[in-house]
Structure 1
Amino acid sequence: MRKIINFGENSPSFLSWAAVGGYEERRGPLGENFDFCDDSDRFGMPTWERAEGEMGRISLNIAMNKIHYSPDAIDVLLAGDLENQCVASSGGLYSFGIPYIGLYSACSTCTEALLLLSTLISKTEISVGATVTTSHNSAAERQFRTPIEYGGQRTPTAQWTATASGAFILGQGGRVKIKSGMVGKIVDGLNKDASNMGAAMARAAFDTFYTYFSLSDIPPRDFDYVVTGDLGKVGSFIFEELMDKEMPSAAVKHIDCGNLIYDKKSADVHSGASGCGCSASVLASHFLPLLEEGSIKNILFMSTGALMSPSSVMQGENILGVAPAIHISSE
């Protein structure tokens, strides 16, 4: 049976965070809130894949420096990216020497990592932990589609993988806390089109939204926002349509990270952003600062993942979706 995981008095809090991005991320509406951006998208590395790993290293280093932590102060590190075997995470973060758990859950990785780390901190001997989530547009294009040099055309429903990273350090004593969470369920997106991943993820997002509020004692109206990871324009339309149809009384404000990170007038991103670094960097650059200053009090944060591979797409399999959730609060 699916349940809400309540952390109660042991609710972990955000001690520090950092967002790192590339050229388009710096030009976007949240660009000035990023801690570091590299307009070359290379971060001093010879390949896109190593650049993705370097983004993770930079973001974690910035987050630690903000609170004057050394790697020895962190008990465990949960990290993930979009490359096979999470080589960006392992390659970029190994120098810290922190005990490591690699996570590979597509664009849902940020919330999955925060949910798992919250469980470790509230239920085990772990006191302080960190999560890092990264994605790189050019590395993702090479692995999942075609190298950018090929110049393949993108459909209007396609999304742009964010070149971005978000790092978070959790412990006890901060203002902004993770009060509860819910593990995502694998949902058939009823879609085979890898150029329309927003549609594939929307039903998983709604399934978690519906189930969470069906079980929660806190009504949707008490949340400032329900935040999804990267449904983009198409996926957000489907998600909101499902909300209006199945939970018309919810009266909740929905915001999608994939619709926030880029300037849609100057950046040709079609249906919006994607990539597991999208929701991570938007959480670090936008929502956590708002929660910390008290402008908003509660959000339900759901990174959304399209569970597919180049092989599964070529074989005509449906794209499955998953959407774990966490309740982040400054109350």
Structure 2
Amino acid sequence: MKTLHFANVYVKAWGSAGGKLESEGPIKELLDRAFHDAYCGTSSFERAERELIRSAVDSALRKAKLEPNDLDVIIAGDLMNQLSASHYFARDLHRPFIGMYAACATSSLILAQAAILVEKMHQQRVLAFTSSHTATAERQYRFPNEYGIQKKATTTSTASGAGAAIITAEPAQVRITHACIGEIVDWHFCDANDMGRAMVPAAYKTIKQVFADTGTDFSDYDGIYTGDLSALGFSFLCDLFIQDGYDLHNHLNDCGLMLYDRDKQDVFCGGSGCGCSMLYTFTKLMDDLTNGKANKIMVVATGALLSPVAVQQKESIPCIAHAVIYERAGEA
């Protein structure tokens, strides 16, 4: 699929909620809601993830001065089996719902789909949200944190957080101008404890596709942010582009590396999870756009489409990356 262009798609409002590590890192002043315990005041980690979603959605709706009944469609996804965090939260909103999954690339996928619905299907107000939680993801894909399994240095730490955005055709300060739906790419990486490097080829392919379709390169953006490639994967991606002769202009970064203070916070090789890029986008990046610190950014959320069963059967890890371009539209 070629890169899609949108003429009249805006981000009307957004909300964010983060866990303990996230609320102690670089974005702490930008979070709408911060939780300082893993349970977020609930009785289980799964309910905690739904509380993160509830807080982010509530913030977005309040900022937009909307009620759930004002929404035409909800699009959401998460990392839990059968998208259970999204489904269990959305059941109480009583609005048309679309569930989507692209692992940690879910954030850009749901926002691209929301933009398509607004521009092509004439939906007036679309709510997009996604989330992740370190405790729910770890015990689903690897081992519960409570087991105390020693982790490899290449491991990333799943972000505990949620982000929500209301996408409309009503003029606002931030526009969605383009989206690129990525291909599944598999360079035959097999280590589930090093998913950052596995996702690099997908990010590389999607960014080059956007460049080819739009006639742009790194110099045309204030920042291009991958989702969660880890410190190792991010270096790998930089090397690929440098070998191609690109000048990065210091405009390439990774949300998982920016979400935390890695000198002070123990997150191994960086942050991950579909809440990672969503949370950083709808705190720091939206703040930069609305305050005029940036005019044009690209977020390339990356996802490793593995399952525990496939890993146990010695399968490789197919990966995907979806891109969304945001631009400052001025005062609403």
TM-score of the two chains, using structure 1 as the length reference:
0.96
Measure how far apart 1:277 and its partner are: 0.2
- What is the Cα deviation at residue 228 of structure 1? 0.6
Q: Would the aligned equivalents of 1:232 and 1:272 in 2 still touch at CA under 8 Å? A: yes
Deviations 1:215-274 (A, max 9, x none): 213343111111111112011011111111124246461110000111212221110000
Tell whether 2:166 aligns with 1:169.
yes
Q: Which of these residues, 76, 80, 86, is aligned with residue 77 of structure 2? A: 80
Q: Which moved more, 1:210-219 or 1:181-190?
A: 210-219
Measured at CA, do residues 247 and 113 of structure 1 come closer, stay the same or move farther in structure 2, by a change above 3 Å? farther
1:62 partner letter: S
Match for residue 243 of structure 1? 241
Q: Which runs of 5+ in 1 are unaligned?
A: none
1:226, 1:247 → 2: CA distance?
A: 17
Q: What residue is the counterpart of 2:272 in the other structure?
A: 274
What SS does the aligned partner of 1:114 have?
A: helix
Whether 1:66 aligns to 2:41 is no
Distance 1:95 1:70 in 2: 13
Which of 217, 223, 230 matches 2:215? 217
- Alignment equivalent of 2:224, drawn from 223, 226, 231: 226
Aligned to 1:141: 138
Letter in structure 2 aligned against 1:222: D
| 8 Å contact kept, 2:218–2:252 | no
Counterpart Cα distance in 2 of 1:106 and 1:98: 24
Q: Return the alpha-carbon distance in structure 1 between the equivalents of residues 250 and 267 of structure 2.
A: 27
Superposed CA deviations along residues 267-302 of structure 1, whole A, max 9, x for unmatched, are: 211100000000001001100111011110001111
Identity %: 34
Equivalent in 20, 41, 44 of residue 41 of structure 2: 44
Indicate yes or no: 2:255 matched with 1:257: yes
Normalising by structure 2, what TM-score?
Answer: 0.96
**What is the alpha-carbon distance in structure 1 between the residues aligned to residue 269 and residue 321 of structure 2?**
19
Aligned residue pairs, count: 328
1:130 is aligned to 127
Match of 1:6 in 2: 5
Greater alpha carbon shift after TM alignment, 62-71 vs 241-250 = 241-250
Q: 2:27 aligns with which of 2, 27, 30?
A: 30
Partner amino acid, structure 1, of 2:140: Q
Structure 2 stretches of 5 or more lacking a match? none
Q: What is the Cα deviation at residue 144 of structure 1?
A: 0.7
Runs of 4+ residues deviating >6 angstroms? none
2:228/2:276 contact within 8 Å kept: yes
1:96 maps to 2:68: no
* Amino acid corresponding to residue 253 of structure 2 in structure 1: I
* CA displacement 1:19-44 (0-9 Å, x = unmatched): 10111111111111111111112122
Matched, 1:290 2:313: no
CA contact (8 A) 2:105 2:320 kept: yes
Mark the CA change 1:268 to 1:121 in structure 2 (over 3 Å): closer, same or farther.
Answer: same
Task: Write out per-residue CA displacement over residues 125-145 of structure 1, whole angstroms, 9 at most, x where no aligned residue.
Answer: 311101111000000111111
Task: Please tell me whether residue 197 in structure 1 is matched to residue 195 in structure 2.
Answer: yes
